[in-house]
Structures are given as structure tokens and as C-alpha cells.
């Protein structure tokens, strides 16, 4: 569809599922490619029971999450030494450049709406394999 040269409103139908760099499955949504956005993207992430993301950060990009269903742990900080438990109905904010890792230890699937301050949700991702083993 591409960017528009004038203000507009677009309805974006969910796209095909894809595997992100973090190792999770996402459902394509709003992006520069689908809507012509410049500084925002929005997707849906799904995490089956036992799923976990690879440790990573989003270089210069803010992340906002709304957990639709399920429960996940988010480990964060320079050594992934801090964590929060997020449940359905919770909002989560992750600062730019903050190392983090998300995992679903529950026996139920998890779904979340994720937005980034970038036109592509995979933009700015830096994988941190040296931190993956810090959370078991």
C-alpha cells in the first residue's frame, strides 16, 4: 500500500503469521508497509505454554504492550536480574535500549497487542545471546 502524501485513515486486516527475530510468532498488523506509518507499528504476539523470547533490546525504540490473555514473565535489566509478572488486562511499557526476555511458564497460551515507536516491529532489534542463559 505504501505511504500516502495526504492525511488518511486506513483499515488494516490482519496479515499472515511470521516468526520474529526474538523467536516468537507474530500476526502482521500496522506498519510502514501495510499502512504507510512512519513512527509506529502494532502487531499481535502469541506465546504457547512454555514459549520464551530470545534476550534482546530495541535500539532507540519504545515498546508498549497490552496483554489480551494469559500470563507472562518479563525479565529485564542489564543482566536480566529484575522481573515482573504480567496478566491479562495489564499494560507494560519497556524503555528503549532495555535488555529484556519474555517467557510463558503457564499451561495456557498468551496473546498480546504490541506497539513500537518504529514503522516496522522488527526494526532496531539487537539480540543478546549472552543473556539467554540468565533466565531458566
- Domain residues for the domain of 95 are 17-134
Classify residue 113: in a domain, yes or no. Answer: yes
Its pTM stands at 0.88
Classify residue 1: in a domain, yes or no. Answer: no
Classify residue 5: in a domain, yes or no. Answer: no
In this predicted structure, what is the pLDDT of residue 38? 94
Classify residue 50: in a domain, yes or no. Answer: yes
The total of structural domains in the chain comes to 1
In this predicted structure, what is the pLDDT of residue 12? 92
Classify residue 6: in a domain, yes or no. Answer: no
In this predicted structure, what is the pLDDT of residue 2? 52
List the one residue out of 31, 29, 57, 62 whose CA is nearest residue 45. 29
Rounded distance between C-alpha atoms, residue 61 and residue 82, angstroms: 20
Determine how many CB atoms are found less than 10 A away from the CB of residue 9.
Answer: 5
Classify residue 3: in a domain, yes or no. Answer: no
Residue 64 phi, psi (nearest 5): -125, 135
Residue 109 to residues 34, 39, 47, Cα–Cα distance (Å)? 27, 30, 6
Question: Domain with 32 in it: what CATH number?
Answer: 2.60.120.10
Mean pLDDT, the chain cut into blocks of 10 residues (136 residues total): 68 89 90 93 95 97 98 97 97 98 96 96 95 93
Amino acid at each position: 500500500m505504501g505511504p500516502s502524501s495526504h492525511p488518511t485513515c486506513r483499515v488494516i486486516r490482519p496479515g499472515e503469521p511470521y516468526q520474529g527475530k526474538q523467536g516468537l510468532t507474530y500476526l502482521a498488523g500496522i506498519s510502514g508497509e501495510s499502512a504507510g506509518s512512519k513512527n509506529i507499528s502494532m502487531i499481535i504476539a502469541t506465546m504457547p505454554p512454555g514459549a520464551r523470547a530470545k534476550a534482546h533490546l530495541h535500539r532507540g525504540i519504545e515498546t508498549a504492550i497490552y496483554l489480551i490473555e494469559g500470563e507472562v514473565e518479563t525479565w529485564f535489566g542489564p543482566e536480566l536480574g529484575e522481573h515482573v509478572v504480567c496478566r491479562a488486562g495489564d499494560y507494560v511499557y519497556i524503555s528503549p535500549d532495555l535488555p529484556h526476555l519474555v517467557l510463558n511458564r503457564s499451561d495456557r497460551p498468551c496473546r498480546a497487542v504490541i506497539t513500537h515507536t518504529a514503522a516496522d516491529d522488527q526494526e532496531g532489534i539487537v539480540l543478546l545471546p549472552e543473556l539467554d542463559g540468565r533466565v531458566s
